[in-house]
Chain A
Amino acid sequence: MTVENQRAGVVVEDMDQDRFPAGMRVLAVDDNPTCLKLLDTLLRKCQYQVTTTNQAVMALKMLRENRNKFDLVISDVNMPDMDGFKLLELLGLEMDLPVIMLSGHSDTELVMKGVTHGACDYLLKPVRIEELKNIWQHVIRRKKFDSKVQNNSLNEDKACHGAGDSRLGVISTLSADQDGKLCRKRKEQNEDEEEDDEENEHENEDASNQKKPRVVWSVELHRKFVAAVNQLGFEKAVPKKILDLMNVEGLTRENVASHLQKYRLYLKRINSVAAQQASMVAALGGADSSYMRMGSLDGFGEFHSLAGSGRLSSSALSSYTPGEMLGRLNSHASLVLRGITSSGLVQASGQNLSSSINTLGQIQPTPLPSNQSASLFQGVLTSLELTQLQQSKCTSSTGDFNPIKDSRGFTAVSNGFSDTRVTVGSSTSLLPGASSHPLVLQGNPQLPDDRGAFVNQYSLGVASLTPDTFDIGGGGCSNFLDHSNNESWQSAIQLSRFSSNAVPLRHELHIKAKMGRTQTGLQSKLEPHCQYQKFCGFCQWYNKSLGPQFGPK
């Protein structure tokens, strides 16, 4: 880890202070050669020092090699090898460089996505030189407010932690806990640098007098950070404790605080994506298991440590908004499965571990296909997840998910999940040698309400659990998670009765997966169409409502 002292004033590292903004070092990333050439020329015309690449992966590599080589990054949104937003997040987390997004689209959603992912700006193609002439402001702004943001995140952490109980309200939008929402809002506000006054009062004197060394969050450092966070449990993960756990010399609480803030946002993004993917992938349960057998997945060496154990802390879960929860679980499931390359192995380990799991909670070994589907998650995750999300903890879940009869707040939980197409496609393509599963590539934008519902439910169930963690081997965790997925689907499906979806998509997906063709009416295909039938709440409900002839097998 390198800690560079920030001189008094705005400019650090190798920036040419005198000529600024001339000589500002920009990295331009765009897969379209015409646009890239144009961008390159425009930037040179503004007297910036330009480096170009048409591959996001290359850009990332360059930046990782020496983060100090660049002051600003401009990146296209639609790129084949990596989604621009993904790159944006990575850069934000690892490098804290200002990133400007570039796109031919001006959809509000996309711009919003850019904003929420932390982009400094969003430009439309074709770019005009006038706009580029001003981009240097982002560099200045970031450096100037860097320390301020660290202070704010510190404040926010303290304040939020003080209102810690209210955090539990975040678990379920059902209870519509005002404090919980307020806490979350505070976080967002802080990110936008609009402080809550009372928070400011806490730490202002303290922080402003402290020295703020510049920290580079290397992969190694971030790994330690994530380990510390997971060890503490997400809710209890306050900067001070994380700092102590990490035990890194020269790192201050403020550094940790601001990094924590970014990390949380990042996870939020991931989970909404992963959750959607998970649900979609799970539906493809019967799909090709060889897809999962991606032996070429050895690019993710860092990941093996995760394969060793899978743990999700319930407290971690409880701090997420409902929509994120399942996603988080799923992502962990898949993370856990990373090291496993054959579905047979998964099942075997699942079986072996089931006994130990059973001692903690009554979890039945799930049938192989579920494991397969879980392992499909694997393919869907990005390498970022793998590097960042290590050592996730799983808590056992007892079978008693109480279906929530109260339908409040379900439909609310869906906003984040609008469009993951690009993300999904790109994340799949990240895997070396992995062939993109066509089904996986198609995001399922229809899932929101459903998923929101069941994740809601699930999170409630989890929150009631003890935070004890146990070590499960890879298969075991997936085992557990699948089961809980099924269980939560069960509740969710029941819940979905209250939702606006006429036909719960979960069931349709089951049918599709098994039959391999689209099923619109439920009345038609009714043989053992669902491998989850034993656990699938929907099938149970459905069978119940339609009569015994289609009862569970």
Chain B
Amino acid sequence: MDGVAQLQKQLVDYTASLFQEGFLDEQFNQLQQLQDESNPDFVVEVVSLFFEDSERLLNELAKALEQKTIDFRKVDAHVHQFKGSSSSIGAQRVQKVCIAFRNYCEEQNIEGCLKCLQQVKHEYSLVKSKLETLFKIEKQLIAAGGSIPT
């Protein structure tokens, strides 16, 4: 059916673009490969967990950086977590910002940290919307009777 084929193409192209633009990396492929009949919604589940966790971490980060005396260790711990989870799902750009963020934490560079916080927020919201779009297309595809190409 045209609809399905079209959706499939759309999905493939969109995913490819995300990889190309560096939003996602190889790790995301691994996630997709882990999805199977016994675990049909794995990717969505993991990514949803990631979203939840990230919101929390971003809030914590904002709070920690608003303090009069910043506890860099705490900030570093949060960023480390964020780095871990973003790398686990393959959110490459977010991960990269986290790395820079941690360097600033080590240097105890407040300005650098604040800058990174903004950056990481930005990257996160970008990758979030991209992934949400991706899932939407997938849903449409499945609804149209197609299957996600592996």
Please report A residues at the B interface, Cβ cutoff 8 Å: 31-35, 37-38, 41-42, 44-45, 78, 80, 104-105, 125-126, 128-129, 421, 425, 438, 441-442
Contact = CB atoms under 8 A, between A and B. Distances in A.
A81 to B, nearest CB: 13
| Main secondary structure on A side of the interface with B | helix
A34 B88 contact: yes
A129 B30 contact: yes
A125 B84 CA distance: 7
Contact of A104 (B27, B34, B84): B84
B8 interface: no
Contact of B87 (A41, A44, A125): A125
Nearest to B27: A126
Contacts of B34: 41-42, 45, 129
Nearest to A127: B88
A78 B42 CA distance: 25
Nearest to A421: B73
A425 B49 contact: no
A38 B53 contact: no
Contacts of B80: 78, 104-105
A17 B27 CA distance: 33
B73 A425 contact: yes
Closest 9 CB pairs of A and B: A34-B85, A104-B84, A126-B88, A34-B50, A126-B87, A35-B88, A38-B88, A34-B49, A33-B49
26 contacts: A31-B81, A32-B53, A32-B84, A32-B85, A32-B88, A33-B52, A34-B50, A34-B85, A37-B45, A37-B49, A38-B31, A38-B88, A41-B42, A42-B34, A44-B39, A78-B80, A104-B80, A104-B84, A104-B87, A125-B87, A126-B30, A126-B88, A126-B90, A129-B30, A421-B73, A425-B73
A256 B113 CA distance: 51
A38 B88 CA distance: 7
B73 A442 contact: yes
Interface residues of B, number: 24
Interface of B: 27, 30-31, 34, 39, 42, 45-46, 49-50, 52-53, 71, 73, 77, 80-81, 83-85, 87-90
A104 B49 contact: no
A36 to B, nearest CB: 9
B99 to A, nearest CB: 10
Contacts of B49: 33-34, 37
B7 to A, nearest CB: 26
A57 B91 CA distance: 30
Contacts of B27: 126
Contacts of A32: 53, 81, 84-85, 88
A31 B84 CA distance: 11
A34 B30 CA distance: 14
Nearest to B25: A126
B50 A104 contact: no
A441 B73 contact: yes
Contact of B53 (A33, A44, A80, A129): A33
Contacts of A441: 73
B82 to A, nearest CB: 9
Nearest to B87: A126
Contacts of B46: 34, 37-38, 41
A428 to B, nearest CB: 12
A421 B80 CA distance: 15
A32 B49 CA distance: 10
Contacts of A45: 34
A41 B88 CA distance: 12
Contacts of B39: 41, 44
A44 B84 CA distance: 20
